[in-house]
Amino acid sequence: GTDGGGIFKSTDGGGIWLDNLSALAIRQSTINGNTAAGTGGGIWSEGALDIAYSTISANRGTTAGGIRALAANIQATIVANQLIGPDCGGPLTSTGHNLESSTTCGFTGVGDAQNANPSLGSLAVGTEGDATIVDIEQGAFEFHDTQGERLAADRRFRLKGMVVGGE
């Protein structure tokens, strides 16, 4: 989407725009290939945002390509390789086992990795905005479930979830 084309039309939040009266829990989702004329190419949030077991990559936004939030809790999520703008902006709280390709998300919790290559392989963005992970390096990064059990990377990405994106 362009300028909020994923879920809400706005110059901020190319994939998802969340107002200050709303709450959103994103689980097992891929947010990829979105563009915002302003900030938050993937997600712009003024509300209560909670993200777990998701991937946010290849988005475009001036101040933050991936996530721009006033407050957010992030767990077992990849935020990496934005095309324009840094991975994150705003106060984000890591609850562990996150990976970022920079240091802008501030992921320093248990099991977090900064300046890391997520080895996503290629994401294919279809005409309807669907994204499919078509290649991933097995074991390139350890993922853990809510009980701390290690998941194989290929299993993690087979889980079904919401997909937002496309140009």
What digits encode the pLDDT tens for the residues 135-145?
A: 344 444 455 55
pTM beyond cutoff 0.75: no
Predicted pLDDT at 159: 35
How many whole angstroms separate alpha carbon 58 and alpha carbon 34?
Answer: 7
Radius of gyration of the chain (CA): 14
Who wins on pLDDT, 48 or 152? 48
What digits encode the pLDDT tens for the residues 79-111?
A: 999 999 999 998 899 999 999 999 999 999 999
Predicted pLDDT at 76: 92
Residue 121's pLDDT band (boundaries 50, 70, 90)?
low
Who wins on pLDDT, 59 or 157? 59
The answer to whether 91 and 71 have CB atoms below 8 angstroms apart is: yes
Across 2-94, the runs of DSSP E, i.e. the strands, are 16-18, 23-27, 30-32, 43-45, 48-52, 55-57, 67-69, 72-75, 78-80, 88-89, 92-94
